[in-house]
Amino acid sequence: MDDRAIGIFDSGMGGLTAVRELIRRLPGEDVVYFGDTGRVPYGGRGRETIIKYARQDVAFLRTFDLKVIVIACGTVSTTALEALSQENPLPVIGVVEPAAQAAVRATRTGRVGLVGTRATIASGAYERTLRRLMPQVQVTANACPLFVPLVENGRYQVGDPLVELVVEEYMAPFKAAQVDTLVLGCTHYPLLWDAISAYLGPQVTLISSGAACVDTVARLLEERDMKSGRTQGGRRRYFASDSAQDFDALASIFLGEDIQGQAQQIAIENY
């Protein structure tokens, strides 16, 4: 039994889709979330910059007493997980391995698609992991750099012509490749679930990288007897590097619940 909190961070708001899943699956756990809204998005930035920012994010989270750190960000997971794991004396869980495992379990044909930010796709981390788990896998990958700005501007609904045009453009290669499983390798993308699913059809299984990594966290806590003694009522604390009001206002989209007045702003460059 371990009542310490789970630390979770993302470049911005997207990681809240993983927090939502964490709250649903493990409602008794305390959660500390940091969203780097003052420096979002990470996906188009250089490798060294992403690693530097991720180190500061973890340094801030570790001012709390944590039992595990979750990287709820595809870009950081593919770019900085190794460095962060080596530098920190507690488990650091990214989204790549869990999502790749879920994809390998789901695929029947071995044709797996992958979407993510430019940095995530360029890293090749998902492909390497998929290939290690399933050597005969055929991976089709496509960076979708406009998905994050669309979602962050509230544009993700089915029926929005702009959303449908962008989804069609980015998803056409997966239809052509006849994938039967698509990994959403960025925690913003689950908001586009319905639009993507409507285009690809019900025969394609979508894998949410955030939900997959929450599975892994739940298993880890179970195996190591590190679950909280509570089964309900975990405390959630939210921090952001830009305006807390703006965070509160947008959070409900990603989290599916209102956190009005709960977020606090911190100066991440001091960590």
Q: Is the dihedral of CA 54, 185, 13, 23 positive or negative?
A: negative
**Is residue 138 within a helix (H) or strand (E), and if so which, with residue range?**
strand 138-143
8 A C-beta contact, residue 182 and residue 115: yes
What is the C-alpha separation between 267 and 245, in angstroms, rounded?
15
8 A C-beta contact, residue 145 and residue 121: no
**Smaller CB separation from its own copies, 169 or 258:** 169
Contact with its own copies (CB under 8 A): which of 245, 252, 260, 264? 245
Quote the least distance from Cβ 69 to its own copies, whole Å. Answer: 22
Catalytic sites, residue numbers:
73, 186
Quote the least distance from Cβ 120 to its own copies, whole Å. Answer: 15
Establish if 145 lies at the interface with its own copies (CB under 8 A). Answer: yes
Establish if 172 lies at the interface with its own copies (CB under 8 A). Answer: no
Establish if 46 lies at the interface with its own copies (CB under 8 A). Answer: yes
Binding segment toward its own copies, per CB under 8 A, in 32-40, 84-92, 175-183, 203-211: 32-40
Show the tokens assigned to 91. 């488990």
Establish if 257 lies at the interface with its own copies (CB under 8 A). Answer: no
Contact with its own copies (CB under 8 A): which of 86, 153, 203, 232? 153
Contact with its own copies (CB under 8 A): which of 87, 109, 162, 231? 162
Establish if 223 lies at the interface with its own copies (CB under 8 A). Answer: no
8 A C-beta contact, residue 239 and residue 12: no
What is the C-alpha separation between 74 and 97, in angstroms, rounded?
11
**Smaller CB separation from its own copies, 90 or 162:** 162
Establish if 157 lies at the interface with its own copies (CB under 8 A). Answer: no
8 A C-beta contact, residue 35 and residue 15: yes
**Smaller CB separation from its own copies, 153 or 232:** 153
Establish if 149 lies at the interface with its own copies (CB under 8 A). Answer: yes
DSSP string, 179-229: -SEEEE-STTGGGGHHHHHHHH-TTSEEEEHHHHHHHHHHHHHHHTT---S
**Smaller CB separation from its own copies, 44 or 256:** 44
Establish if 48 lies at the interface with its own copies (CB under 8 A). Answer: yes
Establish if 169 lies at the interface with its own copies (CB under 8 A). Answer: yes
**Smaller CB separation from its own copies, 36 or 180:** 36
Overall size of the chain counted in residues: 271
Establish if 243 lies at the interface with its own copies (CB under 8 A). Answer: yes
Segments in the chain forming alpha helices (H)? 16-25, 47-61, 74-87, 96-106, 118-123, 125-133, 147-152, 161-176, 193-200, 209-223, 244-255
**Smaller CB separation from its own copies, 16 or 112:** 16
Where on the chain is the footprint of its own copies (CB under 8 A)?
A: 37-39, 44-49, 145-146, 148-150, 152-153, 155, 161-162, 165-166, 169, 241-243, 245-246, 269
